[in-house]
Amino acid sequence: MQHPYFLGDLRIIDNLKISSLFRHLNNRKIRQKYTKALQISHILQRRANVCSGGEKARANILRGIIERKHILLIDEPTAHLDFKNSQIVAKLLSELSANKIVIVTTHQPSLFKSGNTIFLRIKNGVFHEDNNII
Amino acid sequence: MKIITLFKVIANLYKRNIKKNRLMVIFMIFTNITLMLFLVFFSSSETLAQTLAEGYLEYLSVDVALYESQPTNNPLINVKSYRRPSIDYLNSIMKVTESFVIRPDYSPLLYEKEIMVLGKEIPNVLITIIGENTNEIGINRAFYNELNKLVSIKDDEMLLHFYIKTTIFIDDEEVLIDYYNQFPITYIYDEPTYFSVPKLYISQNTIDATLGNIFLKPGLTLNNYLLNLNPEHELSNYRFKCHFKSAAQKDKFMHIVNEVSNNESGIEVSGDHINKIESFNALYDYLSILMKLFLAFVIIGSVVIYVVIAHTALLTILRQMALFAVLGASKKQIYEIYLFLIIINFLLSSVSFLLLPSLLPVVSFILHKLMGVYVVLELNYTMLVLMLSADLLTLLILITIIFLINMRRPLLYLLIDD
């Protein structure tokens, strides 16, 4: 989702806690860790509908992380972010790829340049490996 | 902490549909109040009839006649012949029900009366003989109002001029009764206004001591003459007047009457107040049918409104439900959230039941205004609990069906960007 969906009248922190209602996960520590990494501590107490697109995008990535899924499928995670925040997100996703499968669609492949990244290009509906994409 | 988050989520979802929820609560309150009124109506029948009956001053006085059905060519037509029961027969009943006063019925003679108060003749006055041991003469409010229309009543002292002029035949001999007396009216009784007619209350003692004590022949008082009439004599009016000492005694008597009476023959107990109660019960039965039809319309209407509101409310929060599904909620958990939202409305509308203690006096007041009797209504709380449970059950079934219909398809597509 390029436009992450949150319950607008709830604070970001409450939105992040919703998944704990349905799963018996204690994700407090992991949430705190990645909140710092994504540099979104300042928006946790804000209502979602007053956050910018970039802030929500990062909060959405955090929501994906604390879900503790083995595969993260992310559509343009840097779409609403400035260059600095894009770098932060890209770095974090690269780190996460050490333990999870992270699949990202992006128009800024250079941000995700790291040792273990496989770049795929879609051509005529078929994936082609293309590590010279950058 | 989870509970707080849950409440925040529920509150958020509830606020999203606040207008629909408000509408639903209003309709639920309306339905509850309507159902409560119906319940009051259906459970008040006996109390109302009893209170209405006891509201008449002559409640303990009845006319008793014997009847027999006459054979007719048409089985649908029931012709009865009446005769006055013998005092021995009534005495046999008295043994069971303790002693009560049996007096002749003066009605045929009293038809010939003329009543003047403050110089005005009051027509169509029903002379009501009561068993109370009093010499006081009273009138009911309808009599007072009738009089008030004819003459302006300046003080409370009213003198009643009572005339009877008629002839009766005793052994083919014509006997003239020319009777006059005057009585001070000492009280005005507020009887139920339900089809009330002007009444003059005279005690049996007064009748016996005045009109009953006139001599028709040397050694023969009117009272004795009427007591010893042939049971089928027209002047007997085919009945005796019986005055009971208490309501319990009357109830016992009525029970015996019901036991010994059937279509062919039996005892007929009559009186103005008995006719009124019978007509009231007939009216009540008719109203009950109308009320039941109306109740059915209210229930069907409420169900339709619940369905429409609950369905549109669910459609509005379907995207949020999709988010919950993505975040790991099972359909059961999503259903529980939806249920919670509807139950909030149900609980809020249940506040209307707090109105119940004040609703009963309001209904009593309306009945007081309509019928002139103050009825202390009591509610059947078992029925109320049953009704509430049925209401909740219907709601649960409806929202479950609505939920299942809307959750047949996957929800994820709702979160995909346009």
Largest distance between two CA atoms of chain B: 116
Amino acid B39: pLDDT: 84
Domain total in chain A = 1
The span from the CA of B270 to the CA of B105, in Å, is 12
Judged by CB atoms closer than 8 Å, whether chains meet at A20 and B15 is answered as: no
* H/E element, A15: helix A12-22
CA distance A14 to chain B (A): 6
The span from the CA of B251 to the CA of B242, in Å, is 13
Question: Could you give the ipTM of this predicted complex?
Answer: 0.81
Please state the φ and ψ torsions of residue B122, each to the nearest 5 degrees. Answer: -100, 115
User: Pick from A10, A21, A67: which is nearest to B2 by CB?
Assistant: A21
Amino acid B139: pLDDT: 92
Q: Is residue A87 part of a domain?
A: yes
* Interchain contact A22–B (C-beta under 8 A): yes
Residues of B in contact with A18 (CB under 8 A): 5, 9, 323-324, 327
Locate B239 and state its tokens.
């009945």
User: Pick from B5, B319, B327: which is nearest to A14 by CB?
Assistant: B5
Inter-helix orientation angle B18-43/B356-371, to 10°? 50
Residues of A in contact with B6 (CB under 8 A): 21
Q: What angle do CA B207, B212, B218 make, to 5 degrees?
A: 160
Share of chain A above pLDDT 70, in %: 96
Q: Which residue is it, tokens 């007719």?
A: B72
* Interchain contact A123–B (C-beta under 8 A): no
Residue B322's closest chain A neighbor by CA?
A: A5
Q: Is residue A107 part of a domain?
A: yes
In B41-106, the DSSP E strands lie at 61-70, 79-83, 101-104
* Interchain contact A24–B (C-beta under 8 A): no
Amino acid B355: pLDDT: 81
Q: Is residue A121 part of a domain?
A: yes
Judged by CB atoms closer than 8 Å, whether chains meet at B328 and A22 is answered as: yes
CA distance B305 to chain A (A): 28
Alpha helices in B210-268 (DSSP H): 222-227, 247-260
* Interchain contact A10–B (C-beta under 8 A): yes
The span from the CA of B314 to the CA of B321, in Å, is 9
Residues of B in contact with A63 (CB under 8 A): 327
* Interchain contact A71–B (C-beta under 8 A): no
Q: Is residue A7 part of a domain?
A: no
CATH number of the domain that residue A112 is part of:
3.40.50.300
Q: Check: CB of residue B44 under 8 Å from CB of residue B281.
A: no
The span from the CA of A77 to the CA of A60, in Å, is 9
One digit per residue, the tens of pLDDT, for chain B of length 418 reads: 688 888 999 999 999 999 999 999 998 888 888 888 888 888 787 888 888 888 899 999 999 999 998 888 887 788 889 999 988 888 787 676 567 888 999 988 888 888 888 888 888 899 999 988 888 899 999 998 888 888 887 766 788 999 999 888 888 888 899 999 999 999 999 988 888 889 999 999 999 999 899 998 888 999 999 988 888 888 888 999 999 888 888 888 888 899 999 888 999 999 988 998 999 889 889 989 998 999 889 888 888 888 899 999 998 888 888 888 888 888 899 999 999 999 999 999 988 888 877 888 888 888 888 777 788 887 778 888 887 888 888 889 988 999 998 888 776 666 665 4
The span from the CA of B388 to the CA of A56, in Å, is 46
User: Pick from A2, A9, A18: which is nearest to B327 by CB?
Assistant: A18
CA distance A127 to chain B (A): 22
Q: Which residue is it, tokens 């040792």?
A: A115
The answer for A 49-68 residues in CB contact with B (under 8 A) is 63, 67
- Which pTM value belongs to this model? 0.72
User: Pick from A1, A2, A18: which is nearest to B9 by CB?
Assistant: A18
Amino acid A130: pLDDT: 80
Residue extents of the structural domains in chain B: 2-52+280-415, 58-270
Inter-helix orientation angle A53-66/A28-38, to 10°? 150
Residue A60's closest chain B neighbor by CA?
A: B327
Question: Structural domain of residue A53, as residue ranges?
Answer: 12-129
Q: Which residue is it, tokens 């006719």?
A: B275
Q: What is the pLDDT of residues A63-118, one digit of tens each?
A: 888 887 788 888 888 887 888 888 888 888 888 888 888 898 888 888 888 767 88
Amino acid B92: pLDDT: 82
pLDDT, greater one: B359 or A42: A42
Q: Which of B4, B321, B323 to mutate to test the interface with A (most CBs of A within 10 A)?
A: B323
Amino acid B59: pLDDT: 92
Q: Is residue A84 part of a domain?
A: yes
